[in-house]
Amino acid sequence: MTVLVTGGAGFIGSNVTHRLLRAGEKVRVFDDLSRKGVEKNVKWLEENHGSKFELVVGDVRDARAVDKAMEGVTHVFHFAAQVAVTTSLVDPHADFAVNALGTLNVLESARRRETPPSILYTSTNKVYGSLDDVELETTGTRHQPLDPAVRAYGISESRGLEFHSPYGCSKGTADQYVLDYARTFGLAASVFRMSCIYGPRQFGNEDQGWVAHFLIRALRGEPITIYGDGKQVRDVLFVDDLVDAMLAVRARSKELSGRVFNVGGGPKNTLSLAELVHRIEKLVKRAPSLSFEPWRLADQRYYVSDPRALLEAAGWQPRTSVDEGVERLFDWLVQQPDNRPARTTALEASP
């Protein structure tokens, strides 16, 4: 019996694959290896597990390749995706083909099996749009909701969908297809609408993976660009805690079929961009150089997941604090040769 991890060479995929292999499970990684840094994750998996996992280089847009990868599979972690709003604005067609059509290929291949595998799909909080109707106040380094319930608990799954940006549309389309295949065809499928995940094996860039990206820029002595005022707030979730949540839901895949969960660090684990910069200054013992640009399309000034549904359904809650998680990511990034500062580059004082 095999677990299929699409996008298994990526940040989340490699962490899930590692955990499964460590538990003695058989894993097939399906990845097109197009994202920068994933080859390092494959090498890390090989160094730790040798030939205990199967690597299939393929693209979710290729229905035949997906169908072949699905052979003998009992569960699918479907992570393969185009992951950036900015990229979706440049090429909406490619964004749709990967996220929406690619997911449909996975669902159809699973549905045609004599014994269909269970599926966990990773969606995004971007399906809720820019949340412009959430009234905010600015307090020091962050935007905060005026509604005391939202401030205390975050955004729940009862929030109405409002796809914004091609990325929001493509991920939202896939999100709804997964839920409908559970309802219409009886697949044991569920959805995680994720907030900001961070941790080792993450090669963040300006478009995705902002916690790692900020740390990488600071370690290299490069300036950090902030879009907006830097007071936008997110709940951040350490990747080990996310893997715990995924395994908990997989263990209840039939019971939780057709369910959607907002997954993040929740109100106890939040950061604004400005607050992360302040933490980075303490870690690198220098102030990163900052520049500011206008807000980007569909950027939410506040998004924090309400974790109560997942707690009730699977008994899960985050264990890693922001302080511990950021330090663990920093320690891992320091060990990566690519993050050493250029000799001619010096960090400047922040304005």
Q: Active-site residue numbers? A: 167
Classify strands 2-6 and 233-238 as parallel, antiparallel or unpaired. Answer: unpaired
Q: 226 pairs with which residues across the strands?
A: 292
What is the distance between the alpha carbons of residues 338 and 52, in angstroms, rounded to a whole number? 28
What is the distance between the alpha carbons of residues 197 and 210, in angstroms, rounded to a whole number? 9
306 three-state secondary structure: coil
Which residues, in sequence order, are CB contacts of 122 under 8 Å at separation 6+?
A: 12, 78, 79, 81, 191, 192, 194
Report the candidate in 27, 77, 36, 15 with the shortest Cα–Cα distance to residue 56.
27
Strand order of the sheet with strand 189-194?
53-57, 26-31, 2-6, 73-78, 118-124, 189-194, 260-263
What is the distance between the alpha carbons of residues 96 and 60, in angstroms, rounded to a whole number? 12
What is the distance between the alpha carbons of residues 335 and 205, in angstroms, rounded to a whole number? 18
Amino acid sitting at position 64: R
What is the distance between the alpha carbons of residues 116 and 138, in angstroms, rounded to a whole number? 49
What is the distance between the alpha carbons of residues 233 and 236, in angstroms, rounded to a whole number? 9
Classify strands 189-194 and 260-263 as parallel, antiparallel or unpaired. Answer: parallel
Which residues, in sequence order, are CB contacts of 201 under 8 Å at separation 6+?
A: 11, 14, 15, 41, 44, 239, 332
Length of the chain in residues, anyone? Answer: 351
